Amino acid sequence: MNIAAKEFLGTGIEWANAALSSLAKNHGGPEQLIADIYENGYNDGYWDGYSNAMEDQKMNQIGALGVAAIAGFALGGIIVYFHKKSKSSKAQLEQQKHENARLKAENYAKEILLQQDEGLVTKIDGNIVTVDFKKKA
């Protein structure tokens, strides 16, 4: 509400000629009273519009922050998922390496046993195998 309207309503007399005359006299005449009413109305409208725009802007900022928070949460979830997946892949890869090493060792042991049958292996002592390659040549 503008200043002139507050002054008029403050008198407690609604649209009485004496009150209007007194109010106009306080503002420097009827023309000045009308000018003050327009100016105060413009200022009130400007500040009301500015306040509403700021409230809308705050709501937009809150909305943008909400969207950013949700996106951050989703991105964090994706990162955690792939991190866990990579850990399980590493463990699976390590297990596969051990399995391959075991299979290679078994195949090599079979090869050595075949060479033993051919007479190339002269001695097997635990993990140490003595092979005579001269017999093959």
Q: What is the pLDDT along the chain (137 residues), one digit of tens a residue?
A: 556 666 666 665 566 677 777 777 887 888 887 787 777 776 676 777 777 777 777 888 888 888 899 999 999 999 999 888 887 788 888 889 989 988 888 888 777 777 666 666 677 777 777 767 676 54
Distance CA 29, CA 3 (A): 16
CB of 23 within 8 A of CB of 13? no
Give the N- to C-terminal CA distance of the chain in Å, as an integer: 114
Note the pLDDT of residue 3.
65
- 44 Cβ contact partners less than 8 Å away, ≥ 6 residues apart: 1, 2
Note the pLDDT of residue 78.
92
Note the pLDDT of residue 55.
79
Note the pLDDT of residue 11.
60
Note the pLDDT of residue 4.
61
Note the pLDDT of residue 70.
92
Our measurement of the distance from residue 39's CA atom to the centroid of its chain's CA atoms, rounded to an integer in Å, reads 47
Distance CA 7, CA 3 (A): 6
Note the pLDDT of residue 19.
74
CB of 103 within 8 A of CB of 109? no
